[in-house]
Amino acid sequence: MIAAMQTRKDSGIFTNRRRTVFGKARSDSGKKLGAVLISRPEDVAYLTGFTGEDSFLLIAGGKGWLLTDSRFTEQAQRECPGLEVFTRKGPMAEGVKEVSRQASLKTIAAQADHLTVNQNKALSKVLRRPLVPLNGLLTRLRGLKDRHEVAAIRRAIAIGEHALGTLIAKGRRAFVGRAERDVAAELEYLMRQGGAEKPAFETIVAAGPHGSMPHYRPGDTKIRPGDAVLIDWGAMVGGYAGDLTRVVFTGKISPQLFRIYDVVLKAQRAGIAALWPGKSCKSAHLAAKKVVEDAGYGDKFLHSLGHGLGRNVHEWPSLSWLSKDRLRAGMVVTAEPGIYLPDVGGVRIEDVVLVTPRGPKVLSAMSRSIKDMTLR
Amino acid sequence: MIAAMQTRKDSGIFTNRRRTVFGKARSDSGKKLGAVLISRPEDVAYLTGFTGEDSFLLIAGGKGWLLTDSRFTEQAQRECPGLEVFTRKGPMAEGVKEVSRQASLKTIAAQADHLTVNQNKALSKVLRRPLVPLNGLLTRLRGLKDRHEVAAIRRAIAIGEHALGTLIAKGRRAFVGRAERDVAAELEYLMRQGGAEKPAFETIVAAGPHGSMPHYRPGDTKIRPGDAVLIDWGAMVGGYAGDLTRVVFTGKISPQLFRIYDVVLKAQRAGIAALWPGKSCKSAHLAAKKVVEDAGYGDKFLHSLGHGLGRNVHEWPSLSWLSKDRLRAGMVVTAEPGIYLPDVGGVRIEDVVLVTPRGPKVLSAMSRSIKDMTLR
């Protein structure tokens, strides 16, 4: 079977990742850890290749246990040949207790940025000792993508671009007179046909004034001739997300929108140009923000320049005014400035950028020119 | 705008729900609570109608604050007319601190079954006092559906049924020779066209032996003549999920599958018949399990009879051998026994049931007969 073959080929990657996590957790905590408990589903997937749910991972050096339940036993055995699959019959805490007893695991570190207050309490109780808080280790590791991950993100982007490209090639008839939600549905279907597992997030198709809400949900509003249509979409492929935004014009663009489109495009260029290893994430945001401010729209740029992209649509680092992080080679981030004018509409242009030792490398290929985005 | 009109009509429901939560939190905790902090996104949506993300809700008696960020300010104001919208500029804990200072909120209860260890720490620090753990209150409230919620679940089910019905009406050509993932994609598109916001979960289309993995992900395997195809699918509509499973036959069914189909169907009937208020959730599971055991397949029924269904696909109560809960009128649950034979395939039949004072009421309407599920 395809799934099992893929896993066999890839299992070395997962083993290496688990060894790294265990080693770093030991050195970060300064304690003699017996094991590390991973509870966040995306982290479990990153470290195992497992695509199921409701499963925790215990790592102790080269050994690993996937604590799952009977719904996922067969799937876990196929997907994770290098792991012991433990099928729990009761609550997760009891499973952790059982495995740690069998393997004589004493001090266990756990994800304090994911484990709930109650889970922490239940685990501490059955293990009869507090868990060592593990803070942000996986977040930071996952923030630096290896070539397999960059390839997966590229595939996700390409499938997304092909889907919107197909719609745009159909021209106005694919937009004008149709409800926002119908355009979103067709775009998602095109991504699925292209090989996506699902949309990476709820597709935004916002016509005219709706574009002023950065996270608008597509509704029954029909797209009219002359509308600017903001589309924020992405495919989930092999567990990795794409995330782009384009504004499509169904007719002649108003001078006001033409102006802000130009400002946003220049802001994006300035933001992307600032994405060099060693520079601060904040400085990249400020580089884009300055362009918007200089044009007089500073208070209409309602969010940060962008965010890390990977298994989650929003992950570390944040390209925000609040960030204290520095950019590093291997980070994959979005660059998506926007200007939002209530009752008028909005423009956001979003692309995906790999930070490399030689500077920013844009992974998305779709045109950003008004001409190409104006439907025929 | 449609969204704003819907909210205005519904805002009384949300206000009432918030009052209930605050009152019950006070009486449950036995403390003089100043406010309740809601962090779980589905709970925030249940209590506000807000459809955005990354936002917490503070409730103090009749007053409520939605702590969001600038991406969602306009949307929150439109969707939640009865709430104060607080646009935080920094971390969530700082926002909670600011609102609680302005409104003189002292003791605050929070969701210990959702708040992470780190969030709990950060909040306790800025508030200079520990949070009162709120355990399962929203889970239990949301487990009992009002008529608006039952109507939403019915809509979700109807859209799902219509989508699969459309595929089945096309006959074998809609299945045979097509990849599992293509059938899943078309089914999802039909749900979107029918008015779904998205699939409620990753659609399962498992051909032949793949049916033995309860949570199989559809792949590139082509469906063959004579395959049993297990389909587990649901639409998300108005924030509520549908969740059904059917097995579709592309040709003549083998005697072995015919036999287990019959056992599963009888087990489902027995499980549904046990869904009366006052009976234990466990007893409903055991009623179905007994049928499977008596037929000699006890160890092949890998999961529980079902689960609560609402804003989450899996919510309280669980119809499991581990459950200590009793059924109550207003619960909406799935009834989905299954038998899984490795390397052969699986049969699961899933319907949605409302527990009423007069017993179980099946909300789904799709045929379960082998004849109707055999393609022409």
CATH number at residue A161: 3.90.230.10
Residue-level pLDDT at A11? 65
Tell me the Cα Rg of chain A. 23
Q: pLDDT confidence of A43, banded at 50, 70, 90?
A: very high
Task: Answer yes or no: do A288 and A318 share one domain.
Answer: yes
Q: Dihedral of the CA atoms B175, B179, B184, B190 (nearest 10)?
A: -60
Question: What is the tens place of the pLDDT at every residue in A252-269?
Answer: 999 999 999 999 999 999
> How do residues A172-225 score in pLDDT, each as one tens digit?
999 999 999 999 999 999 999 999 999 999 999 999 999 998 888 898 999 999
**Domain-ending residue, one of A95, A118, A141:** A141
Q: Is B6 in the A-facing interface, judged by CB distances under 8 Å?
A: no
Mark yes or no for CB contact B192/A189 under 8 Å: yes
Residue A339: its chain B contacts at CB < 8 A?
Answer: none
Residue A304 with chain B: CB contacts under 8 Å: none
Write down the mean pLDDT value for chain B.
Answer: 94
User: A159 and A20 in one domain?
Assistant: no
Cβ separation A189–B184 shorter than 8 A:
no
Residue B126 has pLDDT above 70, yes or no: yes
For residue B177, give both structure tokens.
């020779």
Say if CB B313 and CB B245 are below 8 A apart: no
pLDDT in tens, B18-65: 999 999 999 998 888 999 999 999 999 999 999 999 999 999 988 999
Per-residue confidence band for A10, with pLDDT thresholds at 50, 70 and 90: low
Residues of A with CB below 8 A from B189's CB?
185-186, 188-189, 192
Mean pLDDT on B355-368: 98
Percent of chain B exceeding pLDDT 90 equals 89
Average pLDDT over residues B123-139: 95
Do A122 and A190 reside in the same domain of the chain? Answer: no
Shared domain check, A283 and A265: yes
Please give the residue range of the domain that contains residue A27.
2-141
The whole-number average pLDDT for the span B275-294 is: 98
The answer to whether the Cβ–Cβ distance between A215 and B70 falls below 8 Å is no
The stretch A224-232 carries a mean pLDDT of: 96
User: Is residue B185 located within the same domain as residue B245?
Assistant: yes
pLDDT digits (tens, 9 = 90+) for A279-308: 999 999 999 999 999 999 999 998 999 999
**CB nearest to B212's CB, from A74, A212, A216:** A74
A55 pLDDT higher than 70 = yes
Instruction: Check whether B7 has a pLDDT greater than 60.
Output: no
User: Is the pLDDT confidence value at A2 over 80?
Assistant: no
Q: End of a domain among B98, B119, B141?
A: B141
* pLDDT of B71: 85
* CATH code: domain of residue A38: 3.40.350.10
A117 and A47 belong to one structural domain: yes
Cβ–Cβ gap A71/B303 under 8 Å: yes
Structural domain ending residue among the three candidates A141, A171, A188: A141
Confidence category of residue A7, pLDDT binned at 50, 70, 90: very low
Q: Is A298 on the interface with B (CB under 8 A)?
A: no
Residues on chain B touching A202 (C-beta within 8 angstroms): 197-198
Among B73, B118, B215, the residue with its CB nearest the CB of A52 is B215
Read off the amino acid at residue A45: A
By DSSP bridging, strand B132-134 and strand B108-111 are parallel
Q: How confident is the model at residue B86 (pLDDT cuts 50, 70, 90)?
A: very high
d(CA B240, CA B147): 13
Do B136 and B148 fall into the same domain? no
Q: Does A125 touch chain B (CB under 8 A)?
A: no
Q: Which of residues 215-254 of B touch A (CB under 8 A)?
A: 215-217, 219-221
Predicted local confidence at residue A217, as pLDDT: 87
> Do A277 and A166 fall into the same domain?
yes
User: Would the CB atoms of B302 and A70 count as touching at under 8 Å?
Assistant: yes
Does the pLDDT at position B3 exceed 70?
no
Do residues B255 and B286 both lie within one domain? Answer: yes
In this prediction, residue B11 carries a pLDDT of 65
Whether residues A204 and A349 share a domain: the answer is: yes
Is the domain of B222 the same as that of B341? yes
Q: Which residues of A5-18 are buried (b: 16+ CB within 10 A; e: fewer)?
A: eebeeebeebbebb
A158 shares its domain with A218: yes
The total of structural domains in chain A comes to: 2
pLDDT at A1: 25
Contact check, Cβ <8 Å, B117/A118:
no
To which H or E segment does residue A85 belong? strand A84-87
